[in-house]
Chains A and B, each alone.
Chain A
Amino acid sequence: EAGVVQSPRYKIIEKKQPVAFWCNPISGHNTLYWYLQNLGQGPELLIRYENEEAVDDSQLPKDRFSAERLKGVDSTLKIQPAELGDSAVYLCASRLAGGTGELFFGEGSRLTVL
């Protein structure tokens, strides 16, 4: 069974440009997360979806970040415009619905903003 798939793995852009990251969770996983991981730090939650509904986006900087999960499967995280401080790894994770259990992470998308 395929794990969580993310793309692109690496992205280099200039500041003020837009960027988008895509995530395909494990089949059947209703809960999807986007985390931000700065170098040497732990993952920080940006947004959590239950199916297609964003149930926790309190940490998402809504002035420049947006996310969607239109059909309750794949998800896209967008930054527009990107700033220097957005350079980080963006991790997608998924989990079966219904409470606690293992989060399965993707390989991450490493963003460098010049």
Chain B
Amino acid sequence: GENVEQHPSTLSVQEGDSAVIKCTYSDSASNYFPWYKQELGKRPQLIIDIRSNVGEKKDQRIAVTLNKTAKHFSLHITETQPEDSAVYFCAASPGANNLFFGTGTRLTVIP
């Protein structure tokens, strides 16, 4: 099955700085790459996703880039705010409706 690796496991940034989280995947058939945000004790919620036919997608302060050749994708958060503090999970889908998650990155934005 698909193996998704995520780095770093923890990340602390000053408010206003940028944060970058990186993921790699193993299955070249993967064609859908969502990112989920999970606040403490809450459900994971989709914040952005990208499909394999595009290299970059942006939504306000968050963006995701995809390099299919290298099998890696990244989440970029600019102008970080305290409410961005959470655990972020990347995921990859090799089709057939399955979704495989990374191990998560705990982001702390220091006011």
Contacts and interface: CB of A to CB of B under 8 A. Distances in A.
Given A100-B51, A103-B46, A105-B43, A41 B99 contact: no
A102 interface: yes
Nearest to A43: B101
B89 interface: yes
Contact of A100 (B31, B44, B103): B31
Interface string A73-114: 000000000000000000100010101101101111000000
B99 A42 contact: no
Interface stretch (A11-19, A44-52, A62-70): A44-52
B49 A31 contact: no
Given A100-B32, A102-B34, A108-B43, A45 B93 contact: no
User: For this complex, into which size category does the number of interface residues on chain B fall?
Assistant: 20 to 34
Nearest to B91: A42
Nearest to A92: B43
Nearest to A42: B101
A40 interface: yes
Nearest to A103: B99
Interface of B: 1, 4, 6, 31-32, 34, 42-46, 49, 51, 89, 91, 93, 95-104
Interface of A: 4, 31, 33, 40-45, 48, 50, 55-56, 58, 91, 95, 97, 99-100, 102-103, 105-108
Q: Which 3 A-B pairs have the closest CB atoms?
A: A42-B101, A100-B32, A105-B43
